Amino acid sequence: MGSMEALSTHSTPIRPDRILPIAERFGMDAGAVLDNIIYACAYTYEHQYNLLLGLAAKMAEEPFRLLIVDSVIALFRVDFTGRGELVERQQKLAQMLSRLTKIAEEFNVAVYMTNQVIADPGGGVFISDPKKPAGGHVLAHTHLQVIPASYLAGVSN
């Protein structure tokens, strides 16, 4: 069994009461599962990037199977505001996504990222859902799979 890293941009840690039923469902030792979860909270995009560098060093020492980044865009939206900083934000986001891709490839780790959505008032009247993913083209061209939360929850649009 490998370890899991959860890198959060929120101050809400992983709750053991949510992990325990999952471990039990799959017949795993709940204590061992909790011992294999590493949690870190980032407060700026730079802090998030530095945590990834430290995590890569830890992955070189022990096997990891999953890296969760919740949310990949949140700190960039806070640290870079307005159109004047958009180019720099997108460049820094591209560097972060490149680092995540390298970690996934080098250590054979699944990377799961959550994102945010933004309103798209220019979407036109023929578009039923006026929301689009935050992060622009940089994020859109980096991921391999998109699974909308509404799909996971069984909600139809």
Q: What pLDDT was estimated at residue 9?
A: 77
Cβ atoms of residues 73 and 38 within 8 Å: no
Q: Which residues pair with 70 in a beta bridge?
A: 8
Identity of the amino acid at 56:
A
Distance of alpha carbon 38 from alpha carbon 6, whole angstroms: 6
Number of H helices, E strands in the chain: 7, 6
Give the Å distances, CA to CA, from 127 to 121, 130, 151: 10, 6, 18
Distance of alpha carbon 132 from alpha carbon 152, whole angstroms: 18
Q: What pLDDT was estimated at residue 153?
A: 59
Q: What pLDDT was estimated at residue 150?
A: 58
Tens-binned pLDDT, residue by residue, of the chain (157 aa):
678 878 887 777 677 888 888 889 999 998 888 888 888 888 999 999 999 999 999 999 988 989 988 888 888 888 988 889 989 989 999 999 999 989 988 999 988 888 887 777 766 666 666 677 777 778 777 766 655 655 555 655 5
